[in-house]
Amino acid sequence: MLDKPEKTRELMDILDAAVPFEVALMPGLIEHLAREQNPVAVKSVETVSKVSYFGDPGGIMCHIRPEDAESAVVISLTHLRVRRTLPFAAAVFDYQKHRLKKLKKQVGM
């Protein structure tokens, strides 16, 4: 199991209560989305409209609806950054750090 169930539930509750909130998208993610079969134009900062949990394969997912887009983009929280000034920023960083560590172990990096 990648995620700590209790801590993940707590973070999900915090994020649910905080929606909508802004996140920063990494340049590599922006480029990846632009190269998709159905390209999506996103800005470096977008607003999360919903959060959900996809279990070990995806973890906590953030739903983002870019301007002029027909549908939402769903991105793992591990690929996003939240402002350090947000009250839940430390909890998000801890979740990301733990999840990335476990993912690296899983693939033998």
Residues 88-99: tens digit of each pLDDT: 999 999 999 999
Residues 106 and 86: their CA atoms lie apart, in Å, by 31
The DSSP element (H or E) to which 80 belongs, if any, is strand 80-82
- The residues, any chain, with a CB within 8 Å of residue 78's CB and separated by 6 or more, are 59, 96, 99, 100, 103
Question: Is residue 11 within 8 Å of residue 60, measured between CB atoms?
Answer: yes
pLDDT at 19: 97
pLDDT in tens, the chain (109 residues): 788 899 999 999 999 999 999 999 999 999 999 998 888 889 999 999 999 999 988 999 999 998 877 788 999 999 999 999 999 999 999 999 999 999 888 877 5
